[in-house]
């Protein structure tokens, strides 16, 4: 366990985080459930991740595009690896839940109910418990379907909007999984607040499909307003005339946006095309949108005469929106992302340390940081079981019989505790 508290002002907020004292028991894998736990953990909650005995959560071992899931969404958590199929392991987890404020889970519908760990059973036994299920679908005809981020993107219009016509394309990140976890955390925070008044918990549900539809709602509303179906983003008529990627003189690319009439004047002045700024037929953004074919080739020619760095400098001085086209791996060198507190360091299974973007929030000017490094599977088992009142001999016996497991021997960890 890595304790990040110290004299670093970026980390001192950990002493007064708003969810300190809230205990969360997390049954989750992949992205959606762990994102919810990450947010709660970064904000100070004691998040205990329940994993299978042995190697733990399968997410730890995903290859390819899934290789970053576990290190991104599992800091600031403790891990208990336990055999839930055994009566003793199940009893331990139920004792742990009795000490909790929140339970989160994102397994297939009904998976935990069979073990007495579903919402109905636990909330009946613990009326103050907040139980949050993160599922593919909320109540409705699709409720029992299996869903993935890509599935709901395809069925819910997001993939259609992202790719060019005829080529649906999923978004370049797990947007529904991550936002679904965010909405789950919002629901939990609301339930915690309500519990102050009612002294009762409640069941919270967050849906992957419904999250996708929240994202696509603007395109549904566009159809309602205009009577015309929204075109995929690569083929759309933009709301702004200049809102595009331009080729540069050094064979690179840069995005430039001009979203107000004032910015149009600034752009024309900055790039030496004042005659366009004075053209009455281009005075307003709607006029420019309809005249794009007339002036955009000239703008492309102008920007093609400058290298990317020069264009970005001109745009920054003029206060215009701009961006280099950057790969995610290049962001490790981004100066803003390397500002103190913007990223947190976590230790990978091979012992290397990498930096991961922090929660995108400032609390009193400080970003929530790292309190606990990525947990080894079962790495906090002895610590957690000791808190439940077990002595080292009992913990050793459970470990010997495979009821619980840890990476380096639970007896030694219990002795240290």
Per residue in 388-414, pLDDT (tens digit) is: 999 999 999 999 999 999 875 554 444
Q: What pLDDT band is residue 15 in, cutting at 50, 70 and 90?
A: low
Per residue in 310-321, pLDDT (tens digit) is: 999 999 999 999
Structure tokens belonging to residue 10: 């970026």
Q: Which helix (H) or strand (E) holds 174?
A: none
Contacts (Cβ under 8 Å, ≥6 apart) of 359: 38, 39, 42, 43, 367, 368
Provide the whole-model pTM: 0.92
Quick one: DSSP state of residue 366?
A: B
Cβ count near 341 (within 10 Å): 17
Partners of 77 in the beta sheet?
47
Structure tokens belonging to residue 204: 């919270």
- pLDDT at residue 137 greater than cutoff 60: yes
If you compute the radius of gyration of the chain from its CA atoms, what whole number of angstroms results?
A: 26
> Is 243 buried (19+), middle (13-18) or exposed (0-12) by CB count in 10 A?
middle
3-state DSSP assignment of residue 243: strand
Structure tokens belonging to residue 314: 């001109």
Give the Cα separation of 15 and 77 in Å (integer).
16
- pLDDT at residue 107 greater than cutoff 50: yes
User: Rounded to the nearest 5°, which phi and psi values hold at 133?
Assistant: -105, 130
Per residue in 241-294, pLDDT (tens digit) is: 999 999 999 999 999 999 999 999 999 999 999 999 999 999 999 999 999 999
Structure tokens belonging to residue 362: 């400032």
Find out whether 412 and 381 touch, Cβ atoms under 8 Å.
no
Give the Cα separation of 50 and 275 in Å (integer).
66
Structure tokens belonging to residue 288: 């420019």
Give the Cα separation of 115 and 176 in Å (integer).
28
Closest CA to 278 of 268, 287, 286: 268
Pairing state between β 77-82 and 404-405: antiparallel
Task: Check residue 262 and give its pLDDT.
Answer: 97
Q: What pLDDT band is residue 203 in, cutting at 50, 70 and 90?
A: very high
Partners of 134 in the beta sheet?
206
User: What value does the mean pLDDT of the chain take?
Assistant: 93
- pLDDT at residue 13 greater than cutoff 90: no
Higher pLDDT, 236 or 158: 158
Task: Check residue 7 and give its pLDDT.
Answer: 42
List the domains of the chain with CATH numbers. 12-215+340-378 (3.40.50.10540), 238-327 (3.30.1540.10)
User: b/e map of 192-228 (b: 16 or more CB within 10 Å)?
Assistant: beebeeeeebbbbbbbbbbbbbebbeebeebeeeeee
Higher pLDDT, 118 or 4: 118
Task: Check residue 1 and give its pLDDT.
Answer: 33
- Dihedral sign for Cα atoms in the order 84, 85, 86, 88: positive
Higher pLDDT, 238 or 116: 116
Task: Check residue 295 and give its pLDDT.
Answer: 97
The Cα-based distances of 20 to 38, 39, 193 in angstroms read: 14, 13, 14
Torsion of CA 333, 334, 335, 337, to 10 degrees: -110
Q: What pLDDT band is residue 237 in, cutting at 50, 70 and 90?
A: confident
């Amino acid at each position: 366990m890595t304790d990040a508290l110290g004299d670093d002002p970026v980390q001192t907020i950990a002493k007064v985080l708003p969810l300190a004292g809230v205990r969360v028991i997390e049954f989750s894998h992949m992205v959606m459930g762990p994102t919810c736990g990450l947010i709660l953990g970064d904000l100070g909650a004691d998040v205990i991740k329940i994993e299978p005995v042995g190697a733990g959560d399968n997410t730890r071992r995903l290859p390819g595009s899934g290789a970053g899931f576990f290190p991104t969404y599992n800091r600031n958590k403790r891990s208990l690896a336990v055999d839930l199929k055994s009566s003793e392991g199940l009893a331990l987890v139920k004792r742990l839940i009795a000490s909790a404020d929140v339970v989160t889970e994102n397994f297939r519908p009904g998976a935990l109910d069979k073990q007495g760990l579903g919402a109905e059973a636990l909330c009946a036994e613990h009326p103050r418990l907040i139980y949050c299920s993160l599922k593919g679908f909320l109540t409705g005809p699709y409720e029992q379907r299996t869903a993935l981020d890509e599935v709901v993107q395809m069925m819910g219009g997001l993939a259609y909007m992202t790719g060019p016509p005829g080529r649906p394309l999923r978004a370049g990140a797990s947007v529904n999984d991550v936002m679904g976890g965010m909405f789950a955390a919002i629901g939990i925070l609301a339930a915690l607040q309500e519990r102050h008044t009612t002294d009762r918990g409640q069941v919270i549900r967050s849906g992957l499909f419904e999250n996708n539809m929240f994202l696509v709602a603007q395109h549904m509303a566009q159809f309602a307003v205009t009577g015309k179906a929204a075109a995929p983003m690569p083929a759309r008529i933009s709301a702004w005339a200049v809102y595009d990627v331009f080729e540069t003189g050094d064979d690179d690319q840069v995005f430039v946006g001009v979203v107000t009439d004032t910015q149009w004047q600034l752009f024309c002045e900055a790039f030496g095309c004042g005659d366009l700024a004075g053209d009455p037929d281009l005075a307003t953004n709607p006029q420019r949108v309809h005249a794009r074919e007339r002036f955009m080739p000239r703008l492309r020619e102008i920007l093609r005469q400058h290298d990317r760095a020069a264009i970005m400098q001109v745009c920054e001085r003029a206060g215009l929106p701009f961006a280099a086209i950057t790969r995610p791996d290049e962001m490790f060198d981004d100066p803003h992302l390397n500002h103190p507190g913007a990223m947190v360091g976590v230790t990978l299974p091979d012992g290397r340390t990498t930096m991961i973007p922090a929660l995108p929030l400032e609390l009193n000017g400080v970003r929530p940081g790292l309190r606990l490094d990525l947990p080894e599977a079962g790495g906090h088992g002895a610590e957690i079981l000791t808190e439940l009142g077990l002595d080292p001999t009992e913990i050793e016996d459970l470990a010997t019989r495979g009821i619980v497991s840890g990476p380096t021997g639970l007896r030694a960890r219990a002795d240290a505790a």
